[in-house]
């Protein structure tokens, strides 16, 4: 902090104004103008003020409520996702547990319970408002809005940030699955954090 000394009576006022100006400049440049605006996780936040985006996935709106890359979370990550009718996640798997709470709408969880050389034909589970679903570690799965209104889910994953393996179909070999890390909503902040470490 820089202090100016102009006279005994006005120096503390000028120092205070200058300090506030520096703080405002710092926060407007370093946090508000950044695509990764939160460093650490405040105790209380207004969820309606959090950024959300489709990240190029048609019909999806994703919001990271508490994240590893964005907020420094170590053990869990929480997302709020909304799927338009017909929208779906890719067929994918990851080495972490995942729990969904369906807040509104309906859809289908497709879960491959086979552990052979490819996912195989999935079991279909209907999901609906107030239902929860748990996806075991490394089980290939897909969530799809098969209803007529938006499907909104609150998602909790363990061990973030996650490495996602995507499949073109349910019979694609595990060895051919495509690794996506960091995932689309973490890409920009992950790249910025890597630059900061250099």
Residue 22 tokens, joined: 């520096």
d(CA 123, CA 121): 7
Q: Is the dihedral of CA 11, 13, 14, 15 positive or negative?
A: positive
| Residue 134 · residue 53 · CB < 8 Å | no
d(CA 16, CA 170): 63
Q: Is 62 annotated as a binding residue?
A: no
| Residue 141 · residue 122 · CB < 8 Å | yes
- Whether cis (ω within 30° of 0) applies to the bond prior to 135 is no
Up-side HSE of residue 13: CA atoms within 13 Å toward CB? 5
**DSSP reduced 3-state for 171:** coil
Order of strands across the sheet with 123-128? 123-128, 106-111, 141-144, 91-94, 164-167, 178-180
Q: Is 134 annotated as a binding residue?
A: no
Residue 80 tokens, joined: 């709020």
Q: Is 77 annotated as a binding residue?
A: no
Q: Is 97 annotated as a binding residue?
A: no
Binding residues for Zn(2+): 92, 94, 98, 141
Binding residues: 92, 94, 98, 141
């Amino acid at each position: 902090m820089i202090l100016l000394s102009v006279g005994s009576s006005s120096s503390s006022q000028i120092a205070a104004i200058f300090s506030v100006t520096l703080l405002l400049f710092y926060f407007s440049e370093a946090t508000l103008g950044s695509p990764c605006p939160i460093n650490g996780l405040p105790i209380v936040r207004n969820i309606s003020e959090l950024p959300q985006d489709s990240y190029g996935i048609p019909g999806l709106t994703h919001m990271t409520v508490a994240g590893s890359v964005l907020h420094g979370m170590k053990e869990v990550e929480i997302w709020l996702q909304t799927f338009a009718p017909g929208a779906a996640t890719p067929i994918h798997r990851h080495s972490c547990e995942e729990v969904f709470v369906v807040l509104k709408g309906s859809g289908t969880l497709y879960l491959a319970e086979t552990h052979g050389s490819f996912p195989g034909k999935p079991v279909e589970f209907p999901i609906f408002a107030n239902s929860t679903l748990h996806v075991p570690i490394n089980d290939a799965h897909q969530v799809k809005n098969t209803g007529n209104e938006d499907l909104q889910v609150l998602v909790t994953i363990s061990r973030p940030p996650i490495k996602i393996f995507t499949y073109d179909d349910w019979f694609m070999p595990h060895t051919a699955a495509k690794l996506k890390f960091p995932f689309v909503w973490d890409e920009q902040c992950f790249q910025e954090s890597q630059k900061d470490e250099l």
